[in-house]
Amino acid sequence: MFRTLLIANRGEIACRVIRTARRLGLSTIAVYSDADADAVHVAMADRAIHIGGAEARASYLRADAIIHAAKDAGADAIHPGYGFLSENAAFAEACAKAGIIFVGPPPGAIRAMGLKDAAKALMAKSGVPVVPGYHGEKQDAGFLAGEAAKIGYPVLIKAVAGGGGKGMRRVDAPDAFAAALASCQREAASSFGDDRVLIEKYITRPRHIEIQVFADGQGNAIHLFERDCSLQRRHQKVIEEAPAPGMPDDMRAAMGEAAVKAAKAIGYQGAGTVEFIADASEGLKADRFWFMEMNTRLQVEHPVTEMITGLDLVEWQLRVAAGEALPLSQDNVQRRGHAMEARLYAEDPAKGFLPSIGTLHRLRLPEDFPHVRIDGGVREGGQVSMFYDPMIAKVIAWGETRARALARLSRAMRHVEVAGVRTNAAFIDAALHHRAFAAGDVDTGFIDRNLAALVPQEGHAPAEAAILAALFVLNERAAQQGSPQSPWDIADGFRVGGVSTESISLEHGPSKLRISVSRTKAGMRAQCGAVDVPVAAAFSADGAVVATLGGVRHRAAITRIGHEIVVMQSGAAHSFMQPDPLVMEDADGAGADRIIAPMPGKIIQVMAQKGARVLRGAPLVTLEAMKMEHTLTAPADGVIAEVMASVGAQVTEGALLVRLEAP
């Protein structure tokens, strides 16, 4: 085994690799960008080296800077994590040329699977079933439209060099093909430097099932069972689990055999994932799955495999890279129970899952729950940056059965406390509680079909949360006035009639709320709209509160961020603004006549032209943020009065991009 390991990545995966390397007695070296100087992975490593600017292409994608850092630090090996340079054959070759071990497959294996069209042709030749489609070299838009018509709609356009849901579009009708193709090509060029695409038949009830494979340098290759990654949004995985619900044993054996065959066909070494699409329209069957792609790296969802096998896949990676044989043969790999992983993202489901950027003013995760594992790379007080993926942490739960794993994961998500950015915690919990998901009846269209039930309406918060926010304000006032008692424990100083009442004004989105809290000799009462209940509450110094509202006990955490009060309860975070009477409302705020940047990002396309008449929903500006494209559309019919956006410009959240006038 080598002695010193450099991790050419950041965040959660860098922390994950460092933990295993420490256990094996290895010295660790982190690399970091301008944006990550105070990051958790930097603090965890034995040594950290600065490699460039905040944008990935100026730091984590700079192979030369990383190799230079490794050589200067005397690193024996480089672990690329996932993303960035993990599937870059040229980087693997550069490591070898510098005399540094690359913890991953040989460059030839990366190249064989790096281009989806060539990979599918190779798999077909090797006897691995592939999805019907066009995987050729011709990229003329008219020709590709013709191939899509031959395949039959719906079709899926996929970047040849793609991954992680980037450069991928579903197209349901011929008239939408051209626009989808252009968008896909732009995103592919931006993310991978290659705008070539392939066209495939879209399976209407698809299950995304992948097989974890491992191979060593002695010719041994095995699989570590499957993971079901069907719960997706925009082709990005949200919840993963192992084993796949409803999979018959003959299908599991057939998929495992096909995955190992795929790995051996390219002379694979190390950890890899062979991804298949299965047709679930008539239940899972051994003859109804097809090869999609192979990820020649460790996957984000690898912890669910670790949870059911009891193995450390990063340790296996390091041992294989050091020249050791696989620790187990296929017959000795055992699985036990069920595991589920949820990706906790800084994003706002109520606003189309737009990434949420900012400071993590509060971050409390259920790290001490039995059979629950947290893999994270940020900490309270840290930043969710516009430059990288907005994942906060992975929450993984194990159970003896699927139902028990689901219950443990749900309980864990309900104890997530995040303030400062929006998260998808409540959305994940809603998905876990959906009747179809609980029954294992899922496919990749599950979220889209059930979006209305899974995503709470914007601007909606329970009256109980507003009352908790009001009690928090009263508690603050009492503390500021130096009162030795909680405001709801004081039984004197009543007004005429024996009743003292205070009103607290709050805003929740567009809603203006007034909460009245009355104190009598009998106790406290609070009224918010139609809700009028007796209340009692106890606050702790760390922001936790236990309150009884109308005889029902509530546990929550409350944090103030300036004029914002965030009530975190059961995984949801409800934001209330306390109006500042000294600040006048901005009469020129965003409305139906303005297009505002919903987040920081880069303008990559401007469709709006001054003087043009547009209809509601017309695309005006395309913004790239968090490695994804977001198209901003006209909120109403009108005439373009002014265009402030320009291609290539970096804009901040709230920047005015286009102004409309009435037609």
Task: Read off the pLDDT of each residue in 271-276 and give the average, rounded to a whole number.
Answer: 96
Q: Where in the chain is the domain with CATH 3.30.1490.20?
A: 133-201
Do 601 and 630 form a contact (C-beta atoms < 8 A)?
yes
Q: Which fold has domain 4-103?
A: Rossmann fold (3.40.50)
pLDDT given at position 234: 78
- Residue 584, pLDDT above cutoff 50: no
Homologous superfamily assigned to 133-201: ATP-grasp fold, A domain (3.30.1490.20)
Residue at 302: amino acid letter: H
Residue 626's pLDDT band, with cuts at 50, 70 and 90, is low
Do 349 and 455 form a contact (C-beta atoms < 8 A)?
yes
pLDDT given at position 491: 38
Q: Where in the chain is the domain with CATH 2.40.50.100?
A: 594-661
Do 45 and 30 form a contact (C-beta atoms < 8 A)?
yes
pLDDT given at position 555: 94
Residue 500's pLDDT band, with cuts at 50, 70 and 90, is confident
pLDDT given at position 591: 56
Note the pLDDT tens digit of each residue in 542-582.
Answer: 899 999 999 999 999 999 998 899 999 999 999 999 886 54
Do 276 and 211 form a contact (C-beta atoms < 8 A)?
yes
Residue 599's pLDDT band, with cuts at 50, 70 and 90, is confident
User: If you ran DSSP here, which 8-state letter would residue 317 be given?
Assistant: H
Q: Please list, in sequence order, all residues whose beta carbon lies within 8 angstroms of the beta carbon of residue 210, skipping any fewer than 6 positions away.
A: 226, 227, 229, 273, 274, 275, 276, 299
Task: Read off the pLDDT of each residue in 281-304 and give the average, rounded to a whole number.
Answer: 94
Q: Please list, in sequence order, all residues whose beta carbon lies within 8 angstroms of the beta carbon of residue 415, skipping any fewer than 6 positions away.
A: 364, 365, 366, 369, 571
Per CATH, the number for 463-577 is 3.30.700.30
- Residue 460, pLDDT above cutoff 90: no
Do 599 and 609 form a contact (C-beta atoms < 8 A)?
no
Q: Kindly tell me the sign of the dihedral angle through the C-alpha atoms of 159, 165, 166, 168.
A: positive
Q: Three-state DSSP class for 429?
A: helix
Residue 337 CB burial class (10 angstroms; 0-12, 13-18, ≥19): middle
pLDDT given at position 486: 52
Residue 150's pLDDT band, with cuts at 50, 70 and 90, is very high
Q: How far apart are CA 362 and CA 345, in angstroms?
A: 15
pLDDT given at position 627: 58
Percent of the chain scoring above 70 in pLDDT: 94
User: If you ran DSSP here, which 8-state letter would residue 283 be given?
Assistant: B
pLDDT given at position 458: 65
Residue 116's pLDDT band, with cuts at 50, 70 and 90, is confident
- Residue 523, pLDDT above cutoff 80: yes
- Residue 493, pLDDT above cutoff 50: no
Q: How far is CA 569 from CA 459, 557, 574, in A?
A: 16, 7, 8
Domain 105-131+211-228+247-336, CATH among 1.10.1740.10, 1.10.1200.10, 3.30.470.20, 3.20.20.80: 3.30.470.20
Task: Read off the pLDDT of each residue in 447-465 and give the average, rounded to a whole number.
Answer: 85
pLDDT given at position 459: 61
Cα-flanking dihedrals φ and ψ of residue 312, to 5°? -105, 105
pLDDT given at position 483: 55
User: Mapped to the 3 state alphabet, what secondary structure does 17-70 carry?
Assistant: HHHHHHHCCCEEEEEEEHHHCCCHHHHHCCEEEEEECCCHHHCCCCHHHHHHHH
User: If you ran DSSP here, which 8-state letter would residue 331 be given?
Assistant: G
pLDDT given at position 592: 66
487 or 94: whose pLDDT is higher?
94
Residue at 353: amino acid letter: F
Q: How far apart are CA 236 and CA 227, in angstroms?
A: 15
Nearest to 198 by CA among 119, 127, 262, 135: 135
Task: Read off the pLDDT of each residue in 512-540 and give the average, rounded to a whole number.
Answer: 91
- Residue 494, pLDDT above cutoff 70: no
Q: How far apart are CA 416 and CA 406, in angstroms?
A: 16
Q: Kindly tell me the sign of the dihedral angle through the C-alpha atoms of 213, 214, 219, 222.
A: negative
- Residue 495, pLDDT above cutoff 60: no
Cα-flanking dihedrals φ and ψ of residue 558, to 5°? -130, 135
Task: Read off the pLDDT of each residue in 139-147 and give the average, rounded to a whole number.
Answer: 95
Catalytic (active-site) positions: 297
Cα dihedral 518, 520, 523, 529, rounded to 10, equals: -20
Per CATH, the number for 594-661 is 2.40.50.100
Task: Read off the pLDDT of each residue in 64-76 and give the average, rounded to a whole number.
Answer: 97
Any idea which of 39-53, 129-143, 168-182 has the lowest mean pLDDT?
Answer: 129-143
Note the pLDDT tens digit of each residue in 294-344.
Answer: 999 999 999 999 999 999 999 999 999 999 999 999 999 999 999 999 999
pLDDT given at position 371: 98
pLDDT given at position 71: 97
- Residue 630, pLDDT above cutoff 90: no
Q: Where in the chain is the domain with CATH 3.30.470.20?
A: 105-131+211-228+247-336, 337-457
Q: Within the chain, how many helices (H) and strands (E) appear?
A: 17, 39
Per CATH, the number for 337-457 is 3.30.470.20
Do 145 and 173 form a contact (C-beta atoms < 8 A)?
no
Note the pLDDT tens digit of each residue in 184-241.
Answer: 999 888 888 899 999 998 888 899 999 999 999 999 999 999 999 999 987 789 999 9
Do 133 and 151 form a contact (C-beta atoms < 8 A)?
yes
